[in-house]
Amino acid sequence: MKWTISVITLTVVLGCGGQIRQLAMETMENAQVALTSANAMGAQEAADIPLRTAQEMLVTAENAMNAGDVEQAYRLALRAYLHARIATEIAIAIREEANAQEVQAQLTLAEQNVDEVLQRLETMKTELEALQKF
């Protein structure tokens, strides 16, 4: 009976180990894709700390995988992925903020132009009224 339980337990552990290994590998690949995306979005300037953290965690995850610590590799790869996504979102937010500021500046300039046109129109109305009195 003990032998049967041992065989079943070993089978479950080995079966789960293979699944966790596959999950860890996929997560490391996803983290690498997220890092590439973060770099493409300009995270190296905008979100250097989360980006660097993600890169370091991914290297540590690869080292853990090579050392046979699959669970640790999975955890680190997942954290690397999340940090890379954070870096990407920070970069996007900074870029969108800069775009919003540019649009705000253009709007302010347009409002100034409208005010100038309205002032000229008022001046022209006043001059027309003065000419009509003659």
Nearest by Cα to 95 from 50, 46, 49, 40: 46
Assigned token pair, 52: 């660097």
Predicted TM-score of the model (pTM): 0.69
Assigned token pair, 13: 């552990």
| C-alpha to C-alpha distance for 117 and 125, rounded to whole angstroms | 12
Q: What is the mean pLDDT of residues 82-94?
A: 93
**Cα Rg, the chain, nearest whole Å:** 31
Residue partners of 73: CB distance under 8 A and separation at least 6: 24, 28, 61, 62, 64, 65
Q: pLDDT by residue (tens digit) across 104-116?
A: 999 999 999 999 9
Q: pLDDT by residue (tens digit) across 6-61?
A: 445 444 444 555 799 999 999 999 999 999 999 888 888 877 788 899 999 999 99
131 or 75, which is more confident? 75
pLDDT at 87 exceeding the cut of 50? yes
pLDDT at 73 exceeding the cut of 60? yes
